[in-house]
Amino acid sequence: MSKLNQSNKFMVKDLTQMLKGRKVEEIRWFSNKECLDAMWNHRPVEIILEGGVSLVPMADDEGNNGGAISTNIRNFETIYVAEVDNGEEV
């Protein structure tokens, strides 16, 4: 297992300060248009926290596609991605 470098440790500290204690205000699917604009073929959920903070899982740190979220919630271990389509919004 690799060790975290100093900048990774600072990022976790900063993220903790920015996110800890914030309440979830909304959870929604990314729209087809948002995905097409980002050139994604997977629609992730967006978690919106108080203060307008938005969390959108991506397939990688380059933003190449929407991503799923792994959880430790029993019977809900994965928040999956939906496929982009030209039909109705989810």
Alpha-carbon span 26 to 13, nearest angstrom: 25
pTM across the whole model: 0.81
Q: What is the mean pLDDT of residues 40-68?
A: 95
Alpha-carbon distance of 66 to 72, in angstroms, equals 20
Q: How many domains does the chain have?
A: 1
For residue 63, being part of any structural domain is answered with: yes
At residue 58, the pLDDT reads 96
**Taking a C-beta distance cutoff of 8 angstroms, is the pair 51, 36 a contact?**
no
Amino acid 89: pLDDT: 52
Is 88's pLDDT higher than 70?
A: no
Specify the pairing of strand 78-79 against strand 54-55. Answer: unpaired
30 pLDDT higher than 70: yes
The model's confidence at residue 87, banded by pLDDT at 50, 70 and 90, is: low
Q: Is 56 part of any domain?
A: yes
Residue 55's domain comprises 23-83
